[in-house]
Amino acid sequence: MAKKRIGILTGGGDVPGLSIAIKSVVTNSVDRDYEIIGIRRGWLGLLGYNLDDQATHDQYIIDLNPTIVRRVDRSGGTFLHTSRTNPAKVRPDDAPEFLRKSNYGTVIDPETGTKDYTDYILKVIDHLNLDSLITIGGDDTLSFSSRLHKEGIKVVAIPKTMDNDVLGTDYCIGFSTATTRGVNHITNFRSSVGSHERIGVVELFGRNSGETALITGYLSHVDRTIICEVPFDLEKLVWMLDADKKASPAHYSILVISEGAAPIGGHVMQTGTPDAYGHRKLGGIGELLSEKIKEISGNNTMYQRLGYLVRSGPADSLDRMVSMNFGLLAFQLTCKGEFGKLVGVTNGVYSAVPIETVTSGKRHVDIDQYYDVEHYRPRVKSVLGQPMFLH
């Protein structure tokens, strides 16, 4: 009997633990009636696969076995590579040339010529004889997984994002490593900020959810933490930081801010062209705030944007454990034929929920439970009965 074929891919931003989850799927498939097919560059790997060009097979598809994945867990990122391609929303310039000339795709925006190429993705999945998919990504990548499930494709999804904001799970791959790195960088940053007696401003990732900033600020005991869920009073914040600096025996203060934060009456700072999921590049609010601190209070500042460094490099022990177990659970659900599921952690135990949960809304910090709006600080009202990672 021919082995069943599982396709596996990673999409969206990279985080530590992706390759570990892939390795877990592969190693657990040994001596089972499955073969694992790696799809390179996320959904682009299926969109860019040309049925009439064997070279694209070699470009986007790789057979995975224990030898291939033997060392992939020793570094961060994803050895299958990734992309932010959304096959359900492809602009003409982003479509592979062979598809532009084909009859595939449905126009969803006549003005821009944007097309939905889900029909072609289904064709490629059939061509590759894939019995099922295991997809690893955030809510954007997994929203297309949900779409494929509705189209009859057998899918199991694994959540990853250092923002920890995928609905349906208390924890996403990458979050622990990102916050750990953030805390370590801030601890080291204190040396320079304190030496020069300045106000330090640290900007962290966080588009819709301020959990990364909240937990990093909470664990590193910074003076103020601004999250994207709460618009802030600029002058009030500046004078708070000035007072914090004056009250400090070391004559400095530090603030953490989400890149998606905005002052009252202001706008989130975004640049560039929207990606396939409608997101423009965030960033710069920390630098703007740093300049305003100088302008309003006269204090010198140090601004540090902790961007890709917190999502790079090897996973910490918690992300390693979760990644391995998410991979194992995804494979076990596949073996049981329990598709259309998102693996995760719920109330402290490993779980599986319907995959459409990821498209049911956006996760935000529970302000009433975890944040002091008046003083711009984390404030945990009660720990008893709360998730290990507060959200």
pLDDT per residue as tens, the chain (391 positions):
578 999 999 999 999 999 999 999 999 999 899 999 999 999 999 999 999 999 999 999 999 999 999 999 999 999 999 999 999 999 999 999 999 989 999 999 999 999 999 999 999 999 999 999 999 999 889 999 999 999 999 999 999 998 899 999 999 999 999 999 999 999 999 999 999 999 999 999 887 789 999 999 999 999 999 999 999 999 999 999 999 999 999 999 999 999 999 999 988 776 667 766 666 666 789 999 999 999 999 999 999 998 888 888 999 999 999 999 999 999 999 999 999 999 999 988 999 999 999 988 888 889 999 999 999 999 999 999 888 877 7
Task: Specify if 53 maps to a domain.
Answer: yes
Can you give the CATH number for the domain in which 165 is found? 3.40.50.450
Q: Sign of dihedral through CA atoms 106, 107, 108, 114?
A: positive
Task: Specify if 137 maps to a domain.
Answer: yes
Task: Specify if 244 maps to a domain.
Answer: yes
Can you give the CATH number for the domain in which 228 is found? 3.40.50.460
The pLDDT assigned to 277 comes to 64
The pLDDT assigned to 281 comes to 66
Beta strands in the chain (DSSP E): 4-10, 34-39, 61-64, 106-109, 114-116, 132-137, 155-159, 199-204, 224-226, 253-258, 270-271, 281-282, 301-305, 341-346, 349-354, 371-372, 377-378
Task: Please give the full DSSP string across 102-130, using - where no structure is assigned.
Answer: SS--EEEETTTTEEE-HHHHHHHHHHTT-
Query: Percentage helix, strand, coil, to 5, in the chain?
Result: 35, 20, 40
| Cβ 142 vs Cβ 157: under 8 Å | yes
First to last CA, the chain: 47
Q: Give the largest CA-CA distance in the chain.
A: 75
Q: 242-246: long-range contacts at Cβ-Cβ below 8 A with a sequence spacing of 24 or more?
A: 242/199, 242/297, 242/299, 245/197, 245/199, 245/299
Query: Same domain for 303 and 327?
Result: no
| Cβ 159 vs Cβ 168: under 8 Å | yes
Query: Same domain for 21 and 162?
Result: yes
Ramachandran angles phi, psi of 123, nearest 5°? -65, -40
Q: Provide the β-strand partners of residue 9.
A: 135
Within 13 A of 373's CA, how many CA atoms are on the CB side?
Answer: 10
Q: 205-232 burial, b if ≥16 CB within 10 A, otherwise e?
A: bbbbbbbbbbbbbbebebbbbbbbbbeb
d(CA 254, CA 244): 9
Query: Same domain for 181 and 326?
Result: no
Q: Which helix (H) or strand (E) holds 69?
A: none
Q: Which helix (H) or strand (E) holds 340?
A: none
| Cβ 143 vs Cβ 358: under 8 Å | yes
In the chain, the number of structural domains is 2
Please state, as a whole number, how many other Cβ atoms lie within 10 Å of the Cβ of residue 57. 14
Query: Same domain for 250 and 279?
Result: yes
Task: Specify if 214 maps to a domain.
Answer: yes
Query: Same domain for 287 and 301?
Result: yes
| Residue 35: closest CA among 2, 61, 75, 10 | 2
Task: Specify if 386 maps to a domain.
Answer: no
Q: Which domain holds residue 57?
A: 4-173+315-359
Query: Same domain for 254 and 186?
Result: yes
Question: Could you tell me which residues come within 8 angstroms of residue 118 by beta carbon, excluding any fewer than 6 positions away?
Answer: 87, 88, 147, 148, 151
Task: Specify if 384 maps to a domain.
Answer: no
Query: Same domain for 112 and 32?
Result: yes
Query: Same domain for 200 and 270?
Result: yes
Query: Same domain for 156 and 205?
Result: no
Query: Same domain for 149 and 109?
Result: yes
Task: Specify if 388 maps to a domain.
Answer: no
Unique residue bearing structure tokens 């996973």:
315
Question: Hey, what are 184's tokens?
Answer: 């370590």
Query: Same domain for 205 and 70?
Result: no
Task: Specify if 389 maps to a domain.
Answer: no
Query: Same domain for 83 and 167?
Result: yes
The pLDDT assigned to 360 comes to 87
